[in-house]
Amino acid sequence: MGFRSVCPRLASVLVVVRIEAMNASSAKDLRIRNHPLLTFRRKRKIHFLFEGEKVEGYENESVAAALSAAGVRTFGFSKRFAHPRGWFCGVGKCSACLMRIDGIPNERTCITPIREGMIVERQDRQGELPDHGDIRAEAEQRQIQVLVIGGGPAGLAAGITAQNLGLSTLIIDENPVAGGQLLKQTHKFFGSKLEYAGYRGFEIAEIMLSELIQCGGRILTSTSAAGYYGQDDSGAHVYLAAQRLTGGYRLWSIHAERIIVTTGASENYLAVPGNSLPGVYGAGGVQALMHIYGVKPGNRALIVGAGNVGLIIGYQLYQAGVEVEALIDTRPEIGGYLVHASKLVRLGVPILLGHTITAMHGEDHVTGASIAAVDEEGRALPGTEKHLEVDMVVVAVGLSACSEILLQAGCRQMYVPETGGWAPVHNENMETTQEDIYVAGDAAGVAEASTAMLEGRIAAARIAEQGSDPREALKVKLAAMAELESLQASSSLRSNALADQRCHNRWEELHARKR
């Protein structure tokens, strides 16, 4: 019995999205042509097949971005209930965009660049394995002093610092272009020159990548850390990395004396009906779609979360030509900087505090959302519900540290209430509970890009400090520590300082037991 015959709901949905696919090539091009801050350097046009129909894109776009620009919303379906799923995180952290590419299933289409003539298909089910024989490859070996896993602000800062202090360094990043959250950020940074104050996030990414190249640092993009395999005979830590190439993968066996994990964080979902509908975006996901690929995500938005991220995205949506119906938060006060909130107020965007979202509505994509006032414990109050006509919902309710590779390496974790999630136990030098394995950035505890850069510097300088000439490394480390302390003194980051101190205390307890 075929899959569609045992899942009639999915079969009916497939008919709808098949029509959607057929109309994709003739749909309105949703690419942003005029932006007040960004110029999208699109390369040559190429074509690929999606569900048997030709789709036009640009060679520096991902598969999911090109499909989104062509008006395709549904990328796949949930395994159990066949609910449609669409673009959510945009950086390979979730499973919403998994598709079959050239016969290989479960490819993360949001970070897979399009190629001329490639064949892209939706999958009937998740978790299937290739049925065209084994995929084998001999891993190429590489020896390095410092391996940095993740090429965002923390990873780039760590790589530049380590290389400048005389350590051979390699950064790997699973995205086609390194820069992480910096690539999505169009606002100017605060702080000092250590955090590139006065520059916009995407400008900082360009500056840091240039600095990395100038100091001789190396980076492998489109490369995922596939697993940790302990230590070799020399004591070096062994990681297997998979690099996506045209039509296949290259495996790298990387032997590193020290590891800095800067894998960032993943978007949090909301546990309400309709939370996986196409048109429900993670905060970073909608920024990636707009600012990396230049694609308009919708026409009318509801934003959930009035922290800095939600407030900034409200203005960024306006710059992309999207109307913001409202911004809501369960808290009684705004959680971000007043300067960001003031921009939305001047635009006439309602900021509804003490409100929550109760449902997202729609069949194959978002067509509306329901919100309600909340009581003192954050529960929706009966009789206060309102319906909003929106075609997209941006979820800006926080992130969770991506620490899977640290867990695999045996690093201890703890729950940190100040930042609402699990974090690796580490000390002020960014050392984890596993010797020679360090952590920095959101993987160490979710904060923001300036904090991430400083932590990356601290981790790299600490490694260099243990070398033959520690004086310069100590100078770099202490300067970064002082700047981090000053940054965390601000009201919005005091909880991060408390979280860090909790982790530091736990590290000291565990370290004392070993002695």
- Express each pLDDT in 270-309 by its tens digit: 999 999 999 999 999 999 999 999 999 999 999 999 999 9
CATH number of 112's domain: 3.10.20.440
The confidence score (pLDDT) of residue 336 equals 87
**Same domain flag for 393 and 273:** yes
CATH number of 355's domain: 3.50.50.60
Q: Going along 116-222, which residue ranges are E strands?
A: 119-121, 140-149, 169-172, 218-220
Q: What CA–CA distance (Å, rounded) separates 158 from 167?
A: 11
The confidence score (pLDDT) of residue 78 equals 86
Q: Which residue has the tokens 């020290």?
A: 258
**Same domain flag for 280 and 249:** no
Q: What CA–CA distance (Å, rounded) separates 421 from 406?
A: 15
Determine how many CB atoms are found less than 10 A away from the CB of residue 52: 10
Element (H, E) at 281: strand 280-282
Residue 183, in any domain of the structure: yes
Tokens of 298: 């919708």
Q: Give this prediction's pTM.
A: 0.90
**Same domain flag for 82 and 38:** yes
Q: Which residue has the tokens 């001789």?
A: 216
**Same domain flag for 285 and 368:** yes
CA-CA distances (angstroms) from residue 25 to 48, 63, 290, 310?
11, 14, 20, 33
Q: What CA–CA distance (Å, rounded) separates 288 from 320?
A: 12
Among the three residues 397, 421, 451, which one is the final residue of a domain in this structure? 397
Q: What is the DSSP letter of 189?
A: P
The confidence score (pLDDT) of residue 2 equals 34
Residue 477, in any domain of the structure: yes
Among the three residues 340, 368, 397, which one is the final residue of a domain in this structure? 397
**Same domain flag for 72 and 37:** yes
Residue 210 exposed, middle or buried by CB count within 10 Å (0-12, 13-18, 19+): exposed
Residue 6, in any domain of the structure: no
**Same domain flag for 98 and 68:** yes
User: Which of 360, 336, 348, 350 minimizes the C-alpha distance to 493?
Assistant: 336
Answer yes or no: are the C-beta atoms of 149 and 260 closer than 8 Å: yes
Residue 416, in any domain of the structure: no
Beta strand 104-108 pairing with 368-373: unpaired
Residue 1, in any domain of the structure: no
Answer yes or no: are the C-beta atoms of 219 and 170 closer than 8 Å: yes
Residue 459's contacts (CB-CB under 8 Å, 6 or more residues apart) are 158, 260, 429, 430, 431, 438, 439, 440
The helices-and-strands tally (H runs, E runs) of the chain is 12, 26
The DSSP line for 393-409 is EEE-S-EEE--HHHHHT
Domain count, the chain: 3
Answer yes or no: are the C-beta atoms of 256 and 435 closer than 8 Å: no
User: Which of 22, 37, 364, 34 minimizes the C-alpha distance to 188?
Assistant: 37
Q: Going along 351-510, which residue ranges are E strands?
A: 351-353, 355-361, 368-373, 386-388, 392-395, 399-401, 413-416, 421-424, 437-439
Residue 470 exposed, middle or buried by CB count within 10 Å (0-12, 13-18, 19+): middle
Q: What CA–CA distance (Å, rounded) separates 199 from 54?
A: 40
Give the type of residue at 426: H
The confidence score (pLDDT) of residue 128 equals 57
Residue 146, in any domain of the structure: yes
**Same domain flag for 260 and 286:** no
**Same domain flag for 102 and 184:** no
Residue 231, in any domain of the structure: yes
Which residues of the chain are under the pLDDT cut of 50? Answer: 1-26, 132-135
Give me the torsion for CA of 455, 456, 461, 466, rounded to 10°: 90
Q: What CA–CA distance (Å, rounded) separates 492 from 73?
A: 36
Query: In Å, how far from its chain's centre is CA 218?
Result: 22
**Same domain flag for 233 and 254:** yes
**Same domain flag for 273 and 258:** no
Q: What CA–CA distance (Å, rounded) separates 255 from 142?
A: 6
The dihedral of CA 156, 173, 485, 448: what is its sign? Answer: positive
Q: What CA–CA distance (Å, rounded) separates 286 from 391?
A: 13
Answer yes or no: are the C-beta atoms of 507 and 434 closer than 8 Å: no
The confidence score (pLDDT) of residue 329 equals 97
Q: What CA–CA distance (Å, rounded) separates 98 from 94?
A: 9
User: Which of 264, 267, 289 minimizes the C-alpha distance to 276?
Assistant: 267
Answer yes or no: are the C-beta atoms of 41 and 82 closer than 8 Å: no
Residue 73 exposed, middle or buried by CB count within 10 Å (0-12, 13-18, 19+): buried
List residues bridging with 387 in a β-sheet.
370
List residues bridging with 101 in a β-sheet.
104, 120
**Same domain flag for 78 and 102:** yes
Answer yes or no: are the C-beta atoms of 237 and 126 closer than 8 Å: no
Residue 39, in any domain of the structure: yes
**Same domain flag for 280 and 388:** yes
Among the three residues 69, 89, 121, which one is the final residue of a domain in this structure? 121
Domain residues for the domain of 35 are 17-121
